Structure 1
């Protein structure tokens, strides 16, 4: 799974759970104009760590913000938790490893973390094939 697939799945999930609320990718610096209403999302970080020679841990951190910090619906934190706890990425469900509602510079935001373990698939060796043996009888020519 790529980071773009995960980001698209988050946008789709937010759109499905909040059909009457505009969903935006965050602008540069995560700032929004005061006139904007809705929810913004952005990727904060991606990390790929090798556990073994063939196994990796991929971690993604996302930030979700309500764009009008002065008018946050009381149910928004619970609704975001419910929407983002498990997302569907191209038919595969992914569960968040952590969801946290916090305040940064007096602006509330939700941090969502998704962690996946992946295994590098090695080239499969050619399997032993069956050897077919035919015997042919030679007829000796009678002289």
Structure 2
């Protein structure tokens, strides 16, 4: 799964699990001043590490923020955990390897870590083929 596909799966999951709450991608910058209510999501980090010549580890960290600091539901961390612990992408479930709930200033946030192992599929080589031998008539150099 690509980073873009994972981001779309997270956005879709948030919209399904919080249907009456606006879900927005976070705008650029490191500080976020909430001018609206709802949720924002953004990719904090994406890394691809080689384990072996044909195996890789993809690591992604996403930040989900609740924007209405005056109206934080008591069960918000539990709802985030339930929604994002396992997401569906490309017809396969992806499980978060870590979920961290934090309150930073007035804005609560959740960091979600997804780690995937992928294997590079090498092109299959065609099996060895048999050569066909045909006898050829040799002409004598003296003819």
TM-score, structure 1 length as denominator?
0.85
Matches of residues 34-53 of structure 1 in structure 2 within 5 Å?
34=35, 36-53=36-53
For structure 1, the residue ranges without an aligned partner over 5 or more in a row are 134-143
Which position in structure 2 is the counterpart of 1:71? 71
CA-to-partner distance for each residue in 1:49-87, whole Å, 9 max, x for gaps?
A: 010111000000000000112221111110010000000
Asked if residue 8 in structure 1 is aligned to residue 8 in structure 2, the reply is: yes
Distance 2:84 2:132 in 1: 58
Q: CA RMSD in A?
A: 1.8
- Which residue pairs with 2:32 in the alignment? 31
Question: Normalising to structure 2: TM-score of the pair?
Answer: 0.85
1:58 aligned partner: 58
**SS at 2:16's partner residue?**
helix
Structure 2 gaps of 5+ residues are 134-143
Matched positions, count? 133
